[in-house]
């Protein structure tokens, strides 16, 4: 017994002596395979630390965070990783690790598969009875599809797929299953499917522009224009369920009224497959932004293929518009020539072309305007900011209206006259990441009371309609036209001008006429996915204070030094 007790006491003593050192080490070095500094924090772990260990351990931790099981190939197990990993976003970590060490991965929702990049495979398939769109639709509905490894359709039912071996195998098995399923089906039978749009609207939108009602067509409008109802193979497109039911009742009532007809059509198609199919029916369902399609499989395939070509994701574009007024005398002193250049004390140069249009560094140009504004020689009258999509028109309109009385022999009416600033921008992105814009500007102003005609002001309008291409990171400067501005200033001798009766002798009014040049600076910026939630940056740039870089540049211009 003594032989066993002595070592136990020695072990206890050694542990007691080493306890402070172990505690100190635990505070400095995390536990192996985690970012935990204290073993008591093990249940709350949100990270992983690896020191030249197999990627299999990291895959197991990531799969656990996704509530899945990890399956790592033998070649991928040889890859080793080192570093600290945040497991709060497992998919992001997977993408980063795969890019760094050359791996590919796929998840079917139950298992996480990881392979070496060289193990990726590809395959070409052919569908004799089913369609590629039905294959893609099946993969998406069963949540087996992966956008990184898209199925690319060819002609005559051929398709190509590449990716991790398990994913390619799943796609090929699904293709064989659907082809066998469609082989014995009746091609003339009537089916109903729901196609949900992801990036477009089923119906167009209407808006009013200066008393004119305009309409932007939606997907249902495009289908109606393409197909119409032409013969037995035509397509009938209906904009709403109420229209399908033949009335203007509510959507619920329309759905109830249309349902018997749909059921009758399906049953009739199932009983009589030899009869030729009628026109396909497409109904726009606004509540879920979906299209209800009724027709044969071939008709549905054609409609889904066409919709897939136009329902594409579009980039988000932020448009900041600066409306700037500069005194013409000051503009000339700065050396502005619309056919030449503008130079500010030899430190800021901007090139212009013959059309009053230029692309330039908007930050530096706004810095010069900031310096002029402090001396009262320039004004930023407005700075609207809009967020739009590629190939979608954005409009800014700030207008005023007055009414002119039209009196006839037996009737009278009021005619509305609207003037102000209206800017329409239709942007699109080129292959070189340049922003091409169709720009329309209408600027109107009313004359002063001394220029009224029959008690009504005269309205002067200037219109600019152009197309421009703006390189990445630059801005578009438009304008340069001048307009007259009259201002009245009160002057007088302090104290004496307030005296009763005789104060008028010591005060007066002075009229000052200035010629002001109006400029429009359009700053387009293509937003990336990581730009979501950038409200603070936008508020900083569009707020009352300019960006800090503009402030530094303006300070350099005021002090006469070179801009850093």
Which pLDDT tens digit goes with each residue over 149-202?
999 988 778 999 999 999 999 999 999 999 888 876 666 788 888 888 888 888
More confident residue, 326 or 111: 111
- Of 465, 479, 464, 473, the closest CA to residue 523 belongs to 473
pLDDT at 62 over 80: yes
What per-residue confidence (pLDDT) applies to 547? 52
pLDDT digits (tens, 9 = 90+) for 509-519: 666 667 788 88
**35-39, 52-56, 237-241, 452-456, range with the lowest pLDDT:** 35-39
What per-residue confidence (pLDDT) applies to 258? 40
The owner of tokens 């073993």 is 39
Task: Give dist(CA 358, CA 342) in Å, integer.
Answer: 11
More confident residue, 346 or 283: 283
Task: Give dist(CA 273, CA 184) in Å, integer.
Answer: 13
Q: State percent of the chain over pLDDT 70.
A: 65
What per-residue confidence (pLDDT) applies to 401? 80
What per-residue confidence (pLDDT) applies to 170? 95
End-to-end CA distance of the chain: 83
What per-residue confidence (pLDDT) applies to 542? 45
The owner of tokens 């100190």 is 24
Cβ atoms of residues 478 and 492 within 8 Å: no
Q: How confident is the model at residue 15 (pLDDT cuts 50, 70, 90)?
A: very low
What per-residue confidence (pLDDT) applies to 333? 61
**248-252, 414-418, 491-495, range with the lowest pLDDT:** 248-252
Task: Give dist(CA 15, CA 448) in Å, integer.
Answer: 94
Task: Give dist(CA 135, CA 177) in Å, integer.
Answer: 10
What per-residue confidence (pLDDT) applies to 265? 38
Going by C-beta distance under 8 Å and a sequence separation of 6 or more, which residues neighbour residue 224? 237, 239
pLDDT at 302 over 90: no
pLDDT digits (tens, 9 = 90+) for 195-220: 888 888 888 877 777 777 777 888 88
What per-residue confidence (pLDDT) applies to 552? 58
**6-15, 36-45, 236-245, 361-370, range with the lowest pLDDT:** 6-15
Mean of the per-residue pLDDT values for the chain?
Answer: 72
- Of 200, 294, 201, 197, the closest CA to residue 244 belongs to 294
Cβ atoms of residues 329 and 541 within 8 Å: no
Task: Give dist(CA 291, CA 307) in Å, integer.
Answer: 10
Count Cα atoms within 13 angstroms, Cβ side, for 455: 3
What per-residue confidence (pLDDT) applies to 167? 95
Task: Give dist(CA 61, CA 446) in Å, integer.
Answer: 70
pLDDT digits (tens, 9 = 90+) for 220-245: 888 888 876 454 455 666 665 555 54
Per-residue pLDDT, averaged over 400-412, amounts to 78
Cβ atoms of residues 202 and 223 within 8 Å: no
pLDDT at 19 over 50: no
Domains of the chain from N-terminus onward: 41-119 (3.55.50.30), 120-183 (3.30.1370.120), 191-310 (no CATH), 316-528 (no CATH)
What per-residue confidence (pLDDT) applies to 83? 81
pLDDT at 268 over 80: no
**9-23, 153-167, 533-547, range with the lowest pLDDT:** 9-23
What per-residue confidence (pLDDT) applies to 171? 95
E-assigned strand segments in 56-204? 69-72, 80-86, 103-107, 111-116, 121-126, 152-153, 158-163, 191-196
More confident residue, 494 or 430: 430
pLDDT digits (tens, 9 = 90+) for 86-131: 888 888 888 888 888 899 999 999 999 999 999 999 999 999 888 8
More confident residue, 172 or 325: 172
Helix (H) or strand (E) holding 287: none
Q: How confident is the model at residue 18 (pLDDT cuts 50, 70, 90)?
A: very low
pLDDT at 339 over 50: no
- Of 310, 311, 314, the closest CA to residue 527 belongs to 314
* 185: number of Cβ within 10 Å: 13
pLDDT at 353 over 50: no
DSSP state of 104: E
What per-residue confidence (pLDDT) applies to 24? 35
Q: Are strands 316-327 and 507-527 parallel, antiparallel or unpaired?
A: antiparallel
Q: Are strands 378-382 and 316-327 parallel, antiparallel or unpaired?
A: antiparallel
pTM (predicted TM-score): 0.58
* 312: number of Cβ within 10 Å: 11
pLDDT at 355 over 50: no
Helix (H) or strand (E) holding 564: none
Rg (CA), the chain: 35
């Amino acid at each position: 017994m003594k032989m066993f007790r002595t070592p136990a006491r020695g072990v206890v003593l050694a542990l007691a002596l080493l306890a402070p050192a172990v505690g100190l080490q635990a505070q400095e070095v995390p536990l192996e395979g985690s970012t935990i500094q204290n073993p008591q924090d093990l249940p709350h772990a949100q990270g992983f630390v690896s020191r030249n260990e197999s990627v299999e351990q990291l895959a197991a931790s990531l799969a656990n965070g996704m509530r899945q099981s990890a399956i790592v190939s033998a070649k991928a197990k040889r890859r080793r990783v080192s570093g600290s990993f945040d497991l709060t976003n497992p998919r992001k970590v997977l993408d980063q690790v795969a890019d760094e060490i050359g791996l590919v991965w796929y998840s079917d929702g139950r298992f996480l598969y990881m392979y070496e990049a060289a193990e990726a495979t590809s395959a070409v398939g052919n569908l004799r009875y089913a369609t590629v769109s039905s294959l893609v639709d099946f993969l998406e509905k069963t949540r087996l599809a992966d956008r990184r490894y898209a199925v690319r359709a060819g002609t005559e039912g051929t398709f190509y797929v590449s990716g991790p071996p398990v994913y390619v195998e799943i796609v090929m098995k699904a293709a064989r299953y659907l082809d066998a399923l469609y082989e014995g089906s009746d091609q003339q039978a009537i089916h109903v499917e729901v196609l949900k749009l992801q990036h477009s609207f089923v119906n167009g939108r209407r808006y009013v522009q200066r008393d004119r009602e305009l309409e932007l067509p939606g997907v249902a409008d495009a289908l109606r224009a393409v197909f119409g109802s032409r013969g037995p193979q035509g397509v009938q497109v209906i904009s709403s369920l109420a229209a399908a039911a033949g009335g203007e009742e509510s959507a619920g009532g329309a759905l109830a009224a249309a349902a018997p007809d749909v059921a009758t059509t399906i049953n009739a198609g199932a009983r009589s497959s030899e009869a030729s199919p009628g026109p396909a029916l497409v109904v726009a369902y606004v509540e879920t932004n979906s299209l209800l399609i009724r027709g044969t499989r071939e008709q549905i395939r054609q409609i889904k293929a066409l919709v897939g070509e136009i329902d594409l994701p579009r980039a988000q574009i932020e448009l900041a518009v600066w409306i700037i007024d500069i005194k013409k005398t000051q503009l000339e002193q700065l050396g502005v020539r619309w056919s030449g250049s503008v130079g500010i004390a030899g430190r800021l140069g901007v090139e212009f072309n013959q059309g009053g249009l230029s692309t330039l560094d908007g930050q530096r140009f706004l810095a010069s305007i900031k310096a002029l504004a402090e001396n009262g020689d320039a004004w930023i009258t407005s700075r609207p900011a809009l967020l739009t999509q590629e190939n979608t028109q954005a409009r800014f309109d700030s207008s005023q209206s007055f009414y002119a009385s039209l009196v006839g022999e037996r009737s009278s009416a009021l005619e509305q006259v609207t003037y102000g600033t209206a800017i329409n921008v239709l942007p699109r992105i080129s292959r070189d990441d340049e922003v091409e814009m169709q720009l329309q500007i209408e600027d109107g102003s009313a004359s002063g009371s001394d220029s009224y005609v029959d008690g009504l002001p005269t309205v002067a309008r200037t219109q600019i309609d152009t197309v421009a291409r703006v390189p990445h990171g630059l801005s578009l400067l438009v304008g340069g036209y001048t307009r007259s501005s009259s201002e009245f200033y009160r002057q007088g001798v302090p104290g004496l001008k307030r005296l009763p009766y005789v104060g008028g002798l010591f005060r007066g009014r002075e009229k000052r006429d200035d010629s002001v040049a109006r400029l429009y600076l359009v700053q387009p910026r293509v937003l990336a996915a990581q730009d979501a939630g950038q409200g603070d940056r936008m508020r900083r740039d569009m707020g009352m204070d300019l960006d800090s870089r503009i402030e530094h540049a303006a300070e350099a211009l005021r002090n006469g030094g070179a801009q850093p």
